[in-house]
Chains A and B, each alone.
Chain A
Amino acid sequence: GAGVSQSPSNKVTEKGKDVELRCDPISGHTALYWYRQSLGQGLEFLIYFQGNSAPDKSGLPSDRFSAERTGGSVSTLTIQRTQQEDSAVYLCASSLGSPRGNTEAFFGQGTRLTVV
């Protein structure tokens, strides 16, 4: 596709259930990011994949959160035993991943997660 694609666009889940959020980055982009956007909190960095390097997981808020990127392309963010405070919009972005950090990150439209 032409842009970053995220699915589902909306997800309502019951507290305690596991959820998987998917991100299809732009073809050829080596860097992939996950951010969480909550009201009044701005964009909170979660995890960063760059090529074949070990991901930067420093932003994951708890061990209930994990992410993987298969074949350097599609990424899945998994939240186990969801809590109400996990309700947010989860944004994925990809970029060419310049070592100089000056390339534009392209964002998907996000997955709105609601935990009830």
Chain B
Amino acid sequence: AQSVTQLGSHVSVSEGALVLLRCNYSSSVPPYLFWYVQYPNQGLQLLLKYTSAATLVKGINGFEAEFKKSETSFHLTKPSAHMSDAAEYFCAVSSPRGYSTLTFGKGTMLLVSP
């Protein structure tokens, strides 16, 4: 069984500040991990994914995430927030064994103030 926990339903930052969105996972096997972003009234768009290659993964829009097996974490970061980053962010996990669904966390809304 797999699960994802995202700490904080809302995170507020100032423009130019560091963005840190937390994601912890539970999986019986080494997982594949994903971060998706959802802008208002839009579907979900992939930001980045970890599939057992490099543990530091770079994605679109300046975001990156680091897979830490010892901490079962896959936190999303961006050095400097832009107003356009305001959106909801979802962490997801899938299993590398056989076909499987994506299991999502409950999401974190990122608010960026000027």
List of B residues within 8 angstroms of A104 by Cβ: 34, 46, 49
A56 to B95, CA, bound (A): 15
- Whether A101 contacts B94 by the Cβ 8 Å rule is yes
A75 at the interface (CB under 8 A from B): no
**Lowest 5 CB-CB distances: which A-B pairs, in order?**
A42-B106, A107-B43, A101-B94, A102-B51, A43-B104
The tally of residues in B whose CB lies under 8 Å from a CB in A reads: 27
B-side residues, CB < 8 A to A, are 9, 32, 34, 36, 41-46, 49, 51, 90, 94-107
- Other-chain contact of B99, A40, A50, A93 (Cβ < 8 Å): A50
A-side residues, CB < 8 A to B, are 4, 31, 33, 35, 40-43, 45, 48, 50, 53, 56, 59, 91, 93, 97-102, 104-110
Q: Is the interface of B mostly helix, strand, loop or mixed?
A: loop
User: What residue in chain B is nearest A35 (Cβ atoms)?
Assistant: B104
Chosen A-B contacts, 11 in total, with CB atoms closer than 8 Å, are A42-B104, A42-B105, A43-B90, A43-B104, A45-B103, A91-B43, A101-B96, A101-B98, A101-B99, A107-B45, A110-B43
A42 to B44, CA, bound (A): 12
- Whether A42 contacts B49 by the Cβ 8 Å rule is no
A91 to B44, CA, bound (A): 9
Beyond A101-B32, A101-B99, is A41–B43 a contact (Cβ under 8 Å)?
no
A99 to B104, CA, bound (A): 19
- How far in angstroms is the closest Cβ of chain B from A9? 9
- Whether B99 contacts A31 by the Cβ 8 Å rule is yes
